[in-house]
Amino acid sequence: MAENEGSGAAEKLTFLLIGAGIGATLALLFAPKSGRELRDDIADYTKRGVDAAGERAKEIGERASELYGTASARAQDAYGAAAGRVSDAYGTAREKVVAGADTVSEVASRQKEQIAAAIEAGKQAYREEKRKATGEGEQA
């Protein structure tokens, strides 16, 4: 809302300066002076108007430079904060992935041991059954 008020004030000032310039020019044109005096007065007022416009442009340029500096600093701060958050999130996610991989590796190792034990038990049962079958065939 403050931005609208500021631009309204700048706009009003601009219209005031334009109106003053037009009024001064008309006053000079209708004033009872010689042509040379009138031209000199018009030149003086024109130079003053150009100088005032240049000064105002300089002020606006300085203000724009200040605003750019402020916006740039805020953008850099926001970028730094976002980069920090992303880095933190990456570190946390990496830690969780490493912990998950360790858990999966541990579970796989246990499963491997259980499967190896089951295979060995199956082999043992096969050997025992084969021995029983071979032993029974010899008795008959």
Distance CA 22, CA 28 (A): 10
In the chain, how many domains are there?
A: 1
Give the three-state DSSP class for 83: helix
Domain range for 64: 33-101
pLDDT of residue 53: 85
Per the CB < 8 A criterion, the answer to whether 45 and 21 are in contact is yes
Q: Where are the beta strands (DSSP E) in 1-140?
A: none
- Count Cβ atoms below 10 Å from residue 102 Cβ, excluding itself: 10
Indicate whether 5 belongs to any domain. Answer: no
Indicate whether 76 belongs to any domain. Answer: yes
Indicate whether 4 belongs to any domain. Answer: no
Indicate whether 48 belongs to any domain. Answer: yes
Indicate whether 127 belongs to any domain. Answer: no
35-139 helix and 2-30 helix, angle to the nearest 10 degrees: 160
Indicate whether 41 belongs to any domain. Answer: yes
pTM more than 0.85: no
Contacts of 31 (CB under 8 A, 6+ apart): 38, 41
Blockwise average pLDDT, block size 10, the chain, 140 residues: 59 84 78 76 84 88 91 92 89 88 84 86 88 68
